[in-house]
Amino acid sequence: MLTKCLIIMLMLLAVNPAFAVCSKNSINLDWLHENYNDIEVLVQKKEKNSSLIPVLNTLGDIWYKRYGGTTGEVSPLLAKALITNPDLMLSVLADYPESFSRWLSQLQGTLFTDFTGTQFNELKKLHSRLYKAMQEYTKTGHENLIPFARRLAEKLKTIKIRTVD
């Protein structure tokens, strides 16, 4: 009976891959919410350990399948990872160039707007560190990823930190 149920479930997943994607995305979002602080600490470390690459890949997957508020939740983590491990994070983001372009167009509103009135200085520091990291990466980074770093740096030049009253 158990074997029959498993076969039916596998057939349903094979027939409807959207079900599997939604399910994976839900699991990833739950993981993000439950482990946000630990993830934030990990992505800010410059050392490359065995946990970092799977975390960055999962963040990239969440980012790629983002919708609504998800962009605002995952973008600060991406920015921090881009500062400390630009080669790894850019390689994840570069897998989805169209999504990268959309993300760039959303940065002002999703990452560099202080919605609480208490984050201005923190966002200004993040902006400055991210810009500096991308500028440095354009000089020494991997040739296939430099265009992504350059585009991000160019976008950051046009962004000013805003506060919502």
Percent of the chain with pLDDT over 70: 87
**For 8-20, how does the pLDDT look when each residue is reduced to its tens digit (9 = 90+)?**
444 444 544 444 4
Residue 75 structure tokens? 């973008």
**Phi, psi torsion values for 163, nearest 5 degrees:** -120, 135
Q: What is the pLDDT of residue 22?
A: 55
Separation of alpha carbons 18 and 21, rounded Å: 5
Separation of alpha carbons 100 and 36, rounded Å: 22
* Average pLDDT, rounded, for the chain: 87
**For 47-72, how does the pLDDT look when each residue is reduced to its tens digit (9 = 90+)?**
888 899 999 999 999 999 887 778 88
Least confident of 21-25, 49-53, 125-129, 143-147: 21-25
**For 19-29, how does the pLDDT look when each residue is reduced to its tens digit (9 = 90+)?**
444 578 889 99
**pLDDT at residue 117 tops 60:** yes
Q: What is the pLDDT of residue 20?
A: 46
Q: Is the model more confident about 89 or about 48?
A: 89
Per DSSP, helices labelled H in the chain are: 2-15, 17-43, 52-64, 70-84, 86-93, 97-110, 120-140, 146-158
